[in-house]
């Protein structure tokens, strides 16, 4: 399980970062929500009945923790998973809750359904949950590019949640979220036009099996024992693999194209140009992304740092003179993304280079889903 993987908290950062209530309120205000008749208005009247689909998985477990840590007003929590997980128990606010089998009838009386069980499960059961009256927040790629499903990062486009004709809201890809947390404030200030990025993605992005493969390979190599890669096409221990997801006909992977298509949708920039290389690295948790971004207006490093001032969910950690820059361990278990190595690009006009890191299980998945629920 995810809770068993090695976690190395940053020495100078708090154990967790919770978006303050006033920040949540500001996101709600920014959303300017006005729901038409027949749609779920808000969760402010009565604490909602929440269901987590995929409750035993890495992200499902993190969703449960986020709900508790952030004091989300849960009237009832239902944990749903496949038949083989029925009866497993997980703690929530002083109770041990038993996992129930996911069926199409599981959503009677459910107000909010958080899905993180893979695209095929979302496609099969998401519409059933919405038809039963639940607002569905889906962490898979199943509905992200559906024009009738908003794709939301609450710090960037919270207003999008109000237009959900299918009753479903999509959570973006983890690398897209972390990258856009750094790019959105710069876009607001300088007008984003193009992005060239390389991601350094932790093995936990592949779930518990990715973590286990790294652990087993490290043990085998240090003991001089043979091993056969199972999760990844090549050895991941002491190595990097320039492939995340399947290759497409254009030479890019599905993961790399998500940055383009999802970035355009979230930012409302249909002409945004993106080229991305996604790399799996032997890090347990937290993704890093190296970004070159070109803008419509002139920009320099000082102006870029100033653009982040007061922006929720992103913090500048950037002082080369003292070797201060963000690394994956700094964001492991944290809610805030960190950006550093900000500098003017010396090849392109009106361009910056920067480095952003974020916990892809939290902000890249579970936390973002719960934050979406907070602004409903």
230's CB contacts (< 8 A; 6+ apart) are 209, 213
Instruction: Look at the chain and report how many structural domains it folds into.
Output: 2
Among the listed residues 187, 278, 287, 337, the single catalytic one is 287
pLDDT band for position 25 (cuts 50, 70, 90): low
Active site residue 7: no
Q: Are residues 61 and 139 in the same domain?
A: yes
Among the listed residues 66, 174, 276, 337, the single catalytic one is 174
170 contacts 146 by C-beta, under 8 angstroms: yes
Q: Are residues 79 and 128 in the same domain?
A: yes
306's CB contacts (< 8 A; 6+ apart) are none
Higher pLDDT: 237 or 25? It is 237
Q: Are residues 136 and 148 in the same domain?
A: yes
Q: What is the percent of the chain where pLDDT is above 70?
A: 88
Task: Report pLDDT for 207.
Answer: 87
With 80 as the cut, is the pLDDT of residue 221 above it?
A: yes
Residues forming beta bridges with residue 197, ordered by sequence position: 276, 291
Task: Report pLDDT for 36.
Answer: 36
Tokens coding 317: 């950690």
Dihedral (C-alpha) 356, 358, 360, 366: value to the nearest 10 degrees?
Answer: -130
- Residue range(s) defining the domain that contains residue 37: 2-172+365-374
Q: Are residues 186 and 136 in the same domain?
A: no
Q: Are residues 125 and 53 in the same domain?
A: yes
* Helices 58-69 and 367-374: angle between axes, nearest 10 degrees: 40
pLDDT band for position 278 (cuts 50, 70, 90): very high
With 50 as the cut, is the pLDDT of residue 14 above it?
A: no
Q: Are residues 157 and 184 in the same domain?
A: no
Active site residue 287: yes
The CATH number covering residue 149 comes to 3.40.50.720
């Amino acid at each position: 399980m995810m809770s068993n993987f090695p976690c190395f908290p940053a020495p100078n950062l708090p154990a967790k970062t919770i978006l303050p209530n006033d920040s949540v309120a500001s996101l709600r205000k920014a959303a300017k929500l006005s729901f038409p008749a027949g749609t779920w208005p808000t969760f402010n009247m009565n604490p909602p009945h929440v269901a987590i689909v995929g409750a035993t998985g890495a992200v499902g477990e993190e969703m449960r923790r986020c709900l508790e840590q952030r004091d989300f007003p849960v009237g009832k929590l239902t944990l749903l998973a496949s038949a083989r997980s029925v009866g497993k128990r997980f703690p929530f606010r002083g109770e041990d809750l038993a996992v129930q089998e996911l069926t199409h009838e599981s959503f009677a009386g459910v107000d909010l359904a958080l899905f993180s069980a893979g695209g095929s499960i979302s496609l099969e059961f998401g519409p059933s949950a919405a038809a039963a009256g639940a607002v569905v927040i889906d962490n898979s790629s199943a509905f992200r590019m559906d024009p009738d499903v908003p794709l939301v990062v609450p710090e960037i486009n919270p207003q999008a949640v109000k237009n959900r004709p299918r009753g479903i809201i999509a959570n973006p890809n983890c690398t897209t979220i972390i990258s856009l947390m750094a790019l959105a404030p710069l876009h607001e200030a300088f007008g984003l036009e193009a992005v060239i990025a390389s991601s350094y993605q932790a093995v936990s992005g592949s779930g518990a099996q990715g973590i286990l493969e790294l652990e087993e390979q490290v043990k085998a190599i240090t003991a001089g024992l043979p091993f056969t890669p199972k999760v990844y096409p090549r050895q991941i221990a002491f190595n990097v693999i320039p492939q995340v997801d399947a290759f497409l006909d254009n030479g890019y992977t599905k993961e790399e194209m998500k940055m383009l298509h999802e970035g355009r949708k979230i930012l409302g920039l249909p002409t945004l140009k993106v080229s991305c290389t996604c790399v799996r690295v032997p890090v347990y948790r937290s993704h890093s992304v190296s970004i070159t971004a070109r803008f419509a207006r002139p920009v320099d490093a000082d102006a870029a740092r100033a653009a982040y001032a007061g922006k929720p969910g992103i913090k500048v950690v950037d002082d080369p003179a003292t070797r201060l820059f963000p690394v994956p361990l700094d964001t492991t278990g944290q809610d805030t993304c960190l950006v550093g190595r900000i500098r003017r690009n010396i090849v392109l006009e009106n361009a910056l280079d920067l480095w952003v890191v974020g916990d892809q299980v939290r902000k890249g998945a579970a936390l973002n889903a719960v934050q979406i629920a907070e602004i409903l």
